[in-house]
Homo-oligomer: A and B are copies of this chain.
Amino acid sequence: MRWADGFIAVDWGTTNRRAYLIGSDGRLSDEMEDDQGILAVGKGGFDRAVAEIKGRLGDRPLLMAGMIGSNRGWVEAPYAPCPAGLPELAASLKWVVRDHIAIVPGVAYDSGDAADVMRGEEVQMLGAFADGMIPPDALVCHPGTHNKWVKMEDGRIASFRTIMTGEMFNLLREHSILADLLQEPANTGAAFEAGVRRGLEGDDLTAELFSVRARVLLGKRERSDAASYTSGLLIGTDLRIGLRSAPDGEVVVMGRPELTGLFAAALRLAGHEAREVDGEAAFLAGVRHLAELVQ
């Protein structure tokens, strides 16, 4: 089988892509990252964009995950329904070129009035379980533009909910009346902690956001604390919603270390243990196991 000779795994998102060459021994032997996310490539540009990856990493089979399988990506890969484990994802791969180029389906949660979707995070979650980085039953928080709270049961994604925490912070920083106050980098000091506590307790985010500005105008708070406070407020609000499904116990925080660090700090303030898992390591575990399943 050609996959046993090694393959390329691509985590292809909206604004970035990361590609990894996995050798026949299962080890990472080369990688690349650039800003050619699906929006930059655009419809009609994916053949060339894939050729570029092969040109840099070698002519190997490709396993791709993320927004590349969305209706704005290359070829739409229909969502696998919850509960979804690695076998279900492997069985629902969308083959762009038979036996050679596949897109991992996203996962959908559809129950009563609840509806949610993910693309890309599922490979990390299930890879982390398959490699023993997390237990088969776990509450996983995956911070990002669209933060995911995922209930894992028996090593499968049982249900999940998305909170627009990262996107909300970006909207406020780039386009809102708070923009000039949010240009400083956020850190986990006292202002962040005050924001987290306010978000955990309060349920009036859209009012509290305006207060950030009013307190600075009236000289009650330092301008330089506004970004950290607002970051804490949004993350605290996120935890208040996400923790409802598991009011106590350990939470796995998976993703990019700079984000998992912020969320882990906030979780500890909320009285929870937080286990950080590197999202890239989990992604590589996931694609390795998927490649075994398709051979």
Contact = CB atoms under 8 A, between A and B. Distances in A.
Interface of A: 79, 108, 110, 113-117, 146, 161-165, 167-168, 171-172, 174-177, 203-207, 209-211, 214-215, 217-218, 220, 234, 237-238, 241
Contacts of A237: 206
A218 B171 contact: no
B171 A176 contact: yes
A210 B116 contact: yes
Given A203-B203, A218-B110, A211 B171 contact: no
A218 B108 contact: yes
25 contacts: A79-B218, A108-B214, A110-B218, A110-B220, A115-B211, A115-B214, A115-B217, A116-B210, A116-B211, A117-B214, A117-B217, A117-B218, A146-B177, A146-B210, A161-B207, A162-B210, A163-B206, A164-B177, A164-B209, A165-B206, A167-B177, A171-B175, A205-B205, A206-B234, A206-B241
Q: Which of A116, A163, A207 gathers the greatest number of chain B CB atoms within 10 Å?
A: A207
A50 B31 CA distance: 61
Max count, chain B CB within 10 A of own CB: residue among A163, A164, A218: A164
Contacts of A146: 177, 210
Given A204-B241, A241-B206, A115 B168 contact: no
Contacts of A207: 161-164, 241
Contacts of A165: 206
Contacts of A114: 211
A217 B234 CA distance: 26
A180 to B, nearest CB: 10
Nearest to A146: B210
Contacts of A220: 110, 113, 115
A17 to B, nearest CB: 19
B241 A163 contact: no
Contacts of A108: 214, 217-218
B206 A164 contact: yes
B214 A116 contact: yes
A105 B251 CA distance: 50
Contacts of A163: 204, 206-207, 210
A150 B279 CA distance: 47
A208 B177 CA distance: 23
A146 to B, nearest CB: 6
A214 B110 CA distance: 9
Contacts of A162: 207, 210-211, 214
Nearest to A116: B214
Nearest to A162: B210
Contacts of A161: 207
Nearest to A145: B177
